[in-house]
Amino acid sequence: MHVVYPAVVSALLFSIGVYGVLARRNTILVLMSVELMLNAVNLNLVVFDVWLRDRLHSGQVLTLFVIVIAAAEVGLGLAIVLGLYRNRATVDLDRLRALAESPDPPAETPTGSPSGGPRKGAAGQTARAAVVTAPTHPPGRDDPPEVTP
């Protein structure tokens, strides 16, 4: 078996996974694309283990470890996605912008700012403070999913 064949298949799978992570909007589809990338890595590990005839079988054992870690990752990721769906009623990545910095600095002081008011030239700092304080006050189930002004 030429090593090039599995390596090329693995490279193509990885690129497809990259496309899926970047282009998909549903969070679970992004998780599936991450699985594709992990599988590309697994194929690489197996083929190089076979090529190098590793006596410790590092490649195949690491493949098993990656599979286990991927299972744990999917479990945790789905738990997070379900929590997200409970709180925001959406799993679209485009609409989850609570942690994003707004492109233009906000005109008024955010209400949750710990200090009295923004100092001079501290617009970026207040934006960051808003980002930090955002996850501690998650909107309830009835709040609108869009929180960006």
Distance in Å, CB of 144 to other proteins, minimum: 18
Distance in Å, CB of 120 to other proteins, minimum: 34
DSSP label at residue 140: -
Asked whether 11 and 77 are in contact (CB, 8 A), the reply is no
The residues, ordered by sequence, that sit 6+ positions from 55 with a Cβ below 8 Å of its Cβ are none
Q: Which residue, 121 or 136, has its beta carbon nearer to other proteins?
A: 136
Q: Which residue, 7 or 122, has its beta carbon nearer to other proteins?
A: 7
How far out from the chain centre does Cα 99 lie? 13
Give the interface segment with other proteins, choosing from 60-68, 102-110, 114-122, 125-133 (CB under 8 A): 60-68
Which stretch of DSSP H or E encloses residue 125? helix 123-133
Q: Which residue, 122 or 138, has its beta carbon nearer to other proteins?
A: 138
In angstroms, what is the C-alpha Rg of the chain? 22
| Gap between the terminal Cα atoms of the chain | 58
Given the rule CB under 8 A, which residues bind other proteins?
Answer: 1-9, 11-20, 22-26, 28-29, 31-33, 35-36, 39, 42-43, 46-47, 49-51, 53, 56-57, 60-61, 63-65, 67-76, 78-83, 85-86, 91-94
